[in-house]
Amino acid sequence: MGKIMIVDDDRNICELLRLYLKRENFETVLAYDGQQALDLYQEQGADLVLLDVMMPRLDGWETCRRLRQKGNVPVIMLTARGETFDKVLGLELGADDYIVKPFDTKEVVARIKAVLRRCQEAEQPVAASEKDDNIVEYDRLRVDLNRYELRINDEVVEAPPKEMKLLFFLASHPNRVYTRDQLLNEVWGMDYYGESRTIDVHIKRLREKLEGVSRQWSLKTVRSVGYKFEALETE
């Protein structure tokens, strides 16, 4: 079903997760600190990384940041701390999900399957007859889900797939307001286990990329409701 890298300095947790994942026909790779995880990922790769936060040599935050520099491998953070700050920091660094310890092993497996399923759906090829429906364009902005390419001022800008899908969805329905829960369902899917705070983090990152690009459109917050892509002129 795929290769999962388990990164945790607690060897008992690594072994427990390995056994459960083996039952689900996953291949596993174990690492006990952040630097070892980076080295093993460079050598062997992985389809998803389960990444603890508090570790020697390199902590989970820095390891996640460096993994993101190498590519878009899905990352699920494992943390003993459940404060909002820690969750938001993980999402801002590019994590796809987070799980707070102590956790239910069955839930971990379910989340792994859900994240892998969403990533596989994002990578599926699009039929030629559907291509036009997967491109949205505005003044100085182009989002192409066929290539998963974001262009601003005709230059390609790096953005994770979820950011592009969120922007694409909002821009495809200009001036319509969506709640956070609606956006989670549309972009992340009904099987997403996280909370609506995820939307705020992704909107913040998109705004950093889009700030000052055009006066004809913008990402707007509708207080106490959600977000919308406000467009003065739509094409």
Tell me the domain boundaries of the chain: 3-123, 128-231
Regarding pTM above 0.85, the answer is no
pLDDT reported for residue 235: 44
Quick one: average pLDDT of 208-222?
93
Q: Sort residue 147 into left (φ over 0), alpha (ψ -120 to 50) or beta.
A: alpha
pLDDT reported for residue 130: 43
Looking at CATH, the fold of the domain delimited by 128-231 is given as: Arc Repressor Mutant, subunit A (1.10.10)
Residue 127 predicted with pLDDT over 70:
no
- Dihedral angle computed from the Cα positions of residues 65, 219, 142 and 160, in that order, rounded to the nearest 10 degrees: 20
pLDDT reported for residue 234: 44
Looking at CATH, the fold of the domain delimited by 3-123 is given as: Rossmann fold (3.40.50)
**Common-topology check for domains 3-123 and 128-231:** no
Residue 76 predicted with pLDDT over 70:
yes
Distance between CA 184 and CA 196 in Å, rounded?
7
pLDDT reported for residue 15: 95
Residue 134 predicted with pLDDT over 60:
yes
